[in-house]
């Protein structure tokens, strides 16, 4: 449609230009044949009569030039506005594509997190449940045991109960040694779990969701620099909140103690604090609530 209008406009210009040229040539021939037989003095006098007309045409020519300049200026402004809108649209498309690439990876890792949790299992032995004895039964039967398999988040619960008992029984012992000893028993599953969870949060942390040009900010300006970091943090916090919403109470308790050990203190703990990952931690289930002082308060309340 736009191409058709442009072709019509070009045709219109060519027609007007051709007609103007033919009219000028026609007037020239008319003047030539009208004045060629006149004496030179009379032709000069006759030509002087049109001096004012020449001035008018010169003024009209100047006005035409000014009008043309104004039209070109208007077209340039329109082109500039179109380029600005195109640039905004390109920024929006670029942000959308960048976000789609990130979310593909993010949600795949989050899905893998659930698969890892569901795949965790633990075989334990417990007292076998038997049917109620009859009233006349007096002979005591020996205690029988059965083997059952715990799955998923039940494993976190069982292992946390063991961890808490070990800490309470060995309150004077080094916590790091106690934790690592119990962690070793479930390292195959828990190691995979913590590595993947750390990787998801690390991905969010390292992703630049908003660049300086997209936000129209100057990196050399202090306030613009602050705005850049705030905008990115808000988006990162939104995604880490999704991760936090997937964590059960016992997973949060394990994360709490894992980050106090040498396994997570250096790398994982700063991320937990930065993104308030322990916001929903059940305090009453800690062996000692005062241990939360080992964390920056931001880990529990942003």
Question: For residue 55, is it within any domain?
Answer: no
Reported as a single tens digit per residue, the pLDDT across 216-231 is 888 889 899 999 999 9
The pLDDT of residue 94: 75
Question: For residue 237, is it within any domain?
Answer: yes
Question: For residue 151, is it within any domain?
Answer: yes
Tell me what percent of the residues of the chain surpass a pLDDT of 70.
Answer: 75
Question: For residue 186, is it within any domain?
Answer: yes
Domain count, the chain: 1
Q: Which has the higher per-residue pLDDT, 69 or 194? A: 194
Reported as a single tens digit per residue, the pLDDT across 190-249 is 889 999 999 999 999 999 998 888 888 888 898 999 999 999 999 999 999 999 999 999
Side-chain-facing half-sphere of 22: CA atoms under 13 Å: 6
Reported as a single tens digit per residue, the pLDDT across 263-296 is 899 999 999 999 999 999 998 898 888 888 999 9
Mean pLDDT of 135-162: 74
Question: For residue 224, is it within any domain?
Answer: yes
Question: For residue 47, is it within any domain?
Answer: no
Question: For residue 102, is it within any domain?
Answer: no
Question: For residue 93, is it within any domain?
Answer: no
Mean pLDDT of 6-16: 66
Provide the domain limits for residue 240: 112-127+144-299
Please provide the average confidence, as pLDDT, over all residues in the chain. Answer: 81
Tell me the pLDDT band of 147, cut-offs 50, 70 and 90: confident
Mean pLDDT of 122-136: 62
């Amino acid at each position: 449609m736009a191409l058709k209008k442009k072709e019509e406009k070009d045709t219109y210009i060519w027609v007007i230009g051709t007609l103007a040229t033919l009219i000028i040539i026609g007037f020239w021939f008319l003047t030539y044949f009208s004045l060629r037989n006149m004496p030179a003095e009379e032709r000069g006098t006759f030509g002087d009569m049109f001096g004012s007309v020449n001035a008018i045409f010169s003024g009209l020519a100047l006005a035409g030039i000014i009008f043309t300049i104004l039209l070109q200026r208007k077209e340039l402004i329109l082109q500039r506005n179109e380029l600005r809108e195109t640039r905004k649209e390109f920024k929006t498309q670029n942000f959308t594509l960048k976000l789609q690439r990130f979310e593909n990876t993010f949600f795949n890792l989050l899905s893998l997190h659930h698969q890892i949790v569901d795949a965790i299992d633990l075989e334990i032995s417990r007292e076998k449940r038997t049917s109620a004895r009859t009233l006349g039964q007096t002979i005591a039967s020996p205690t029988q045991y059965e083997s059952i398999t715990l799955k998923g988040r039940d494993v976190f619960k069982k292992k946390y109960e063991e961890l808490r008992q070990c800490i309470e029984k060995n309150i004077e012992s080094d916590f790091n040694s106690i934790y690592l000893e119990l962690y070793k028993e479930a390292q195959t599953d828990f190691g995979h779990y913590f590595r993947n969870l750390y990787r998801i949060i690390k991905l969010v942390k390292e992703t630049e969701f908003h660049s300086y040009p997209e936000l129209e900010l100057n990196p050399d300006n202090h306030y613009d620099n602050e705005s850049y970091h705030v905008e990115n943090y808000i988006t990162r916090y939104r995604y880490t909140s999704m991760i936090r919403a997937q964590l059960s109470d016992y997973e949060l308790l394990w994360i709490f103690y894992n980050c106090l050990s040498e396994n997570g203190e250096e790398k994982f703990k700063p991320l937990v604090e930065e993104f308030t990952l322990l916001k929903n931690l059940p305090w009453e289930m800690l062996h000692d609530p005062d241990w939360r002082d080992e964390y920056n308060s931001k880990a529990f309340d942003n």
